[in-house]
Amino acid sequence: MCLALPARVVALLDGDEAQIDLGGVRKTVSIALVPDAQPGDYVIVHVGHAIGRIDPEEAERTLALFAEMAAAQAEAEGDGSAALAASATPVAPATVAKRDVLAAAASPTAPAGPAAPRETTA
């Protein structure tokens, strides 16, 4: 499964890199595929690469859905953070678990999924 997340460009860096904000987590990603990205723009990020620009309203709707899912999960787990997650702004995820998912998705070294079993030889 692939996962790409909307993130706001915070600053352009040297070369083809930019600093992005993923719900309060700042990451450096490649913008080689989106060379016209500017601070304030929303981009879709997949494993450390911005792969396209996205309309700000669409980005905020998507982030709001993520916040709703985090709130529902927190409520279902009964960990007491449901109220905090529900009160979060769309661009500020409320739970640490969600922040971890966002940060991992932006990382170029993020695992693609479960490792396949390896065959061993005797």
Task: Say whether 24 sits in a helix, a strand or coil.
Answer: coil
Mean pLDDT lowest for which of 53-57, 76-80, 93-97? 93-97
- Side chain identity at 21, as an amino acid letter? D
Percent of the chain with pLDDT over 90: 43
The CA-based angle 45-106-67, given to 5 degrees, is 80
Q: Which of residues 86 and 115 earns the better pLDDT score?
A: 86
Q: Is 63 exposed, middle or buried, given 0-12, 13-18 or 19+ CB atoms closer than 10 A?
A: buried
The residues, any chain, with a CB within 8 Å of residue 13's CB and separated by 6 or more, are 19, 28
Structure tokens at 42: 């929303």
Write down the mean pLDDT value for the chain. Answer: 76
Quick one: which of 58, 60, 56 has its CA closest to 23? 60
Q: Taking the CA atoms of the chain, what radius of gyration do you get in angstroms?
A: 16
pLDDT at 93: 39
Every domain of the chain and the residues it spans: 5-106
Evaluate if residue 11 carries a pLDDT over 80: yes
What span, in angstroms and rounded, lies between the C-alpha atoms of 31 and 51?
7
pLDDT at 106: 52
CATH 3.30.1300.10 fits 5-106, yes or no: no
pLDDT at 66: 86
pLDDT at 32: 96
